[in-house]
Amino acid sequence: MSKIPNRKALGASTVADLNSRSRASEPERSGTASDSDGINRYRVDEKFIVERIYNAVMEHRLAPATKLSEHTLCATFGVGRMRVQRALLLLSDQGIIDLEKNRGAFVVSPGPTEASEVFEARALLEPAIARHVASDIGSKNLEMLKRHISLESEARGSNSGADLIRLSGEFHWKLAQASGNRILSRVVRELVTKSSLIVGLYGASKQKVCPKDEHLEILSAIERCEANASEALMIEHLNRIREGLDFSAPQPQDGDLAEILGMK
């Protein structure tokens, strides 16, 4: 077996050549380590792109039916097409976007029928989840939910509308996570994401977030291990959200994609 030469045994030019080859084999990086917007461009991977688009949908900044051009996303995030395409596939798998042949990617745009089906599914699942969690809530999950309620209160107190909209929806996903069932958690996450789009399209301006204190009331019942009350409160809560929808007047929005995704 031949010995691997050490750096001292190699000539300076040979070492420089090896270093050059090593650098050439590294994946290409777009942008600088940290641009003026504070985003580390070396870490713009599929997960980062998915998170930015997901948050923009949840915060009602990215409107239903918005076209997500691969070219525009590449320019926005400073990455190549392969990375953007992988991110779009992940978003499609999560039910956040539709991939249409020969047309591209679009943020899902639920119609009135689908909107009704989404809330019917939530009415079947979430009260049962609340009952289940109330019957067996561990201290770790209870603290996780309490922290989330605190974040909601902070967002409400600071008039941070976008954060409050996102956090209002995420409470329901966190509750599903507390059930310990990963399948339920994934299903509820998709339903909540679509609900956010539905509320953005059909909700009255004052009904863009879950009603004040209702999440706290649900959590208080769960903490007391009152399964019946937790289930009943969740039913009332979902009914109130659904009653605030007006399917006669969808409100699409336009805007600069880079700004919407927080990349400007």
| pLDDT 10s digits, 224-255 | 999 999 999 999 999 998 888 877 755 555 66
User: What is the reported pLDDT for 53?
Assistant: 92
User: What is the reported pLDDT for 254?
Assistant: 61
User: What is the reported pLDDT for 109?
Assistant: 85
Residue 56: closest CA among 263, 202, 210, 203: 263
Mean pLDDT computed over 60-75: 89
| pLDDT 10s digits, 160-179 | 777 888 898 899 999 999 99
- Evaluate if residue 127 carries a pLDDT over 90: yes
Distance from chain centroid for Cα 194: 11
User: What is the reported pLDDT for 158?
Assistant: 85
Q: Positive or negative, the Cα torsion across 59, 62, 68, 70?
A: negative
| pLDDT 10s digits, 147-158 | 999 999 998 888
Show the CA angle centred on residue 28, arms to residues 26 and 30, nearest 5°: 145
- Name the H helices within the chain: 12-25, 46-58, 70-77, 81-93, 112-135, 139-157, 161-178, 182-202, 214-223, 227-243, 257-260
- Evaluate if residue 262 carries a pLDDT over 50: yes
User: What is the reported pLDDT for 33?
Assistant: 39
Instruction: Please tell me which residue, 197 or 104, carries the higher pLDDT value.
Output: 104
User: What is the reported pLDDT for 130?
Assistant: 97
This prediction has a pTM of 0.69
- Evaluate if residue 58 carries a pLDDT over 90: no
Domains of the chain in start order, with CATH, are: 43-109 (1.10.10.10), 112-243 (1.20.120.530)
Q: Helix 81-93 crosses helix 46-58 at what angle (to 10 degrees)?
A: 50
User: What is the reported pLDDT for 208?
Assistant: 61
Q: With bands split at pLDDT 50, 70 and 90, how would you rate the model's confidence at 57?
A: confident
| pLDDT 10s digits, 8-54 | 444 444 444 444 443 333 333 333 334 444 444 547 889 999 989 98
For the CA atoms of the chain, what is the radius of gyration?
23
| pLDDT 10s digits, 180-228 | 999 999 999 999 988 888 887 787 655 566 777 899 999 999 999 999 9
